Structure 1
Amino acid sequence: MTMAPRAVRDGLDHPAETTPDRFRSFMSGFPSGVAIITATGLDGRPWGMTCSALCSATTDPPTLIIGIRAESPTLKALLDSRVFAVNLLHDRARRTAELFASGAPDRFDGVRWESRPGCGPHLLDDAHAVADCRVSDSVLIGRQRIVFGEPFRIDDLAETVPLLYGLRQYGRWAEGR
């Protein structure tokens, strides 16, 4: 068994400081579902990014939280339009998750999607459910912006199992659940 590095401060023994790499490694052990956050810019251009930093905040009113890099063009489109879509990916959408994580400028050319007025693009073949959300608030923390969204419409698109991400790899629920 390996012991974590320790440091002495104020005459007391403390665990070593948390670094971004240690924190990233720690969080990789917490698997989550995979979503693609989409928004439409004021010029009509679709934007999107893969996101595993997504969780529910409260059910009354229904509110979710997403974390997005502060320099993200998807974030800019989302904040400008004040609406976005959360596309929850199914287990056959790994290629799409990787495409939207790549930052490729033509990522929407590689997927089937639908534009709806007043919300972000829906990924028709890759999502098992989509929530259209209004931005209710956002907070800058470090180089991330935490966005609070209130879903105003939820569409179930397919009965399938969700795509998961953890330990820096994609996976799916075990069979026979």
Structure 2
Amino acid sequence: MTESTGTVDHMARAAATGEGFRAMMRGFPTGVAVVTALDRDNRPWGMTCSSLCSVTLEPPTLLVCLRDGSPTLAAILDRGEFAVNLLHADAQGTAELFASGDRDRFDRVFWQLGGDGAGPHLRDDARAVADCRIRTSYPVGDHVVVLGEVYRVTHGPERRPLLYGLRRYGVWPHT
């Protein structure tokens, strides 16, 4: 019972730990994206990312959090630009591929660059792609937060988004 209301408090409290925080965030479903970039030698790099959110409409800006030391992050920071591929519901295999670290991942999916694209577009797997230029980046723990100003959005066919939460993929329900 709480002192002020006399009601039963059903919330368990514990010190914040990495595992406790991870368990909390597992229960917060999110969309799934593959962040891509080209390095200085025009080699494609990419990784699955669920740490993504919009920041502002003016100018259009989004935020991604990428593991420090990843080759994808290195390419992004080196070139100053990246693409965010928002995956559709039938692209779970691509999400898993880009989360796996498989070095041949770009040989196993269809991708292309637009004329002034910031990174590879996964045309068969993305419901939309945002091309971004870095506005700023800063380290936080073992990740780097990257704010990207979106200079172009490409929409594919309207398809339901791929979701991830509770350690599994899911699909937005039909309405």
Instruction: Measure the CA separation in 1 of the matches of 2:41 and 2:52.
Output: 27
TM-score w.r.t. the length of structure 1 is 0.90
- Helix, strand or coil: the match of 1:114? coil
The structure with the greater share of residues assigned to strand is 1
Conserved? CA contact 2:83–2:117, under 8 Å? no
Which amino acid counterpart does residue 127 of structure 2 have in structure 1?
H
Structure 1 residues 103-136: Cα deviation after superposition (integer angstroms, max 9, x where no partner): 0000001100002345100001000000000000
Question: Within 5 A, what are the aligned runs for 1:23-34?
Answer: 23-34=21-32
- Helix, strand or coil: the match of 1:122? coil
Structure 1 residues 135-162: Cα deviation after superposition (integer angstroms, max 9, x where no partner): 0000100011000000000000121000
Structure 1 residues 14-44: Cα deviation after superposition (integer angstroms, max 9, x where no partner): x432111111110111111000000000011
Partner of 1:99: 97
Partner of 2:5: none
Question: Within 5 A, what are the aligned runs for 1:79-90?
Answer: 79-90=77-88
Alignment of 1:141 onto 2:140: yes
Partner of 2:75: 77
Partner of 1:122: 121
- Helix, strand or coil: the match of 1:99? helix
Conserved? CA contact 2:39–2:78, under 8 Å? yes
In the alignment, structure 2 segments of 5+ residues that lack a partner are: 1-8
Question: Within 5 A, what are the aligned runs for 1:5-20?
Answer: 15-20=13-18
Identity %: 56
Give how far 1:174 is off. Answer: 1.3
1:37 aligned residue (35, 38, 61): 35
Count of aligned pairs? 166
Conserved? CA contact 2:86–2:126, under 8 Å? yes
In the alignment, structure 1 segments of 5+ residues that lack a partner are: 5-14
TM-score w.r.t. the length of structure 2 is 0.91
Partner of 1:108: 106
Distance 1:83 1:3, change over 3 A: closer
CA RMSD of aligned residues (A): 1.4
Instruction: Measure the CA separation in 2 of the matches of 1:18 and 1:72.
Output: 26
